Amino acid sequence: MKHSIVLAALLGFAGFAAVSQFLPRAHAQASSPSQTALEEGKRLYRTNCAGCHKWHGNGGGGYGGDALSLRRTSLTKEQIILTVECGRPGTGMPYHLRDAYENPEKMCYGYGKDEPPPQKVLEANNFLRPSEIELIVDYVLARIKGHGAPDYAECIDFFGNGSRVCNIYKSMEEPATGLASAKGE
């Protein structure tokens, strides 16, 4: 009986050890990205996403058409990653993962090399590695998704001090002074 308990304990520990190798990655995904990772995600976002989604993530007219708002999206992290990797067939959203529809091991929306999507999928000008896509998505989740209207502080964070692009947001934050003071009376 004593040997059975020891054997069960050892098997339980061995099972935990085998499973625990996957825990650090899951924990790392759940933790907040570092400031360095967010800065790299911002750099990659600026280069690959801001042309259509704009610096603030509100979307609008861009090179690929009317990009959707990343501020108002209800997509999860995994769904945003899939969208960046595979694009969106029939829209202006290109795929950024090299060979996304050619790799037999990667299926995008159930489509692959043998069965392409019925609608055209645009190819991005720059392909990204999966780690770069995750950096971009972490940046979007931390700094864009769910945030209200863009403001001066966000603009300065994106462009840096002294950017005239941000002046429109600065003037929006200045308190109204009234008509009399505007006329100098």
Which pLDDT value is given to residue 124? Answer: 95
Task: Find where tokens 């999966």 sit.
Answer: 130
Query: Terminus-to-terminus CA distance in the chain, angstroms?
Result: 96
- Pairwise CA distance, residues 184 & 37, whole Å: 49
In a 13 Å sphere around the CA of 181, the CA atoms on its Cβ side amount to 4
Q: Tens-of-pLDDT digits for all 185 residues of the chain?
A: 444 433 333 333 333 333 333 333 333 445 799 999 999 999 999 999 999 999 999 998 766 567 999 999 999 999 999 999 999 999 999 999 999 998 878 889 999 888 889 999 999 999 999 999 999 999 999 999 999 999 999 999 999 998 899 999 987 776 655 444 444 44
pLDDT value, residue 167: 92
pLDDT value at residue 127: 97
Token pair recorded at residue 2 = 């004593």
User: CA 40, CA 33: separation in Å to the nearest integer?
Assistant: 11
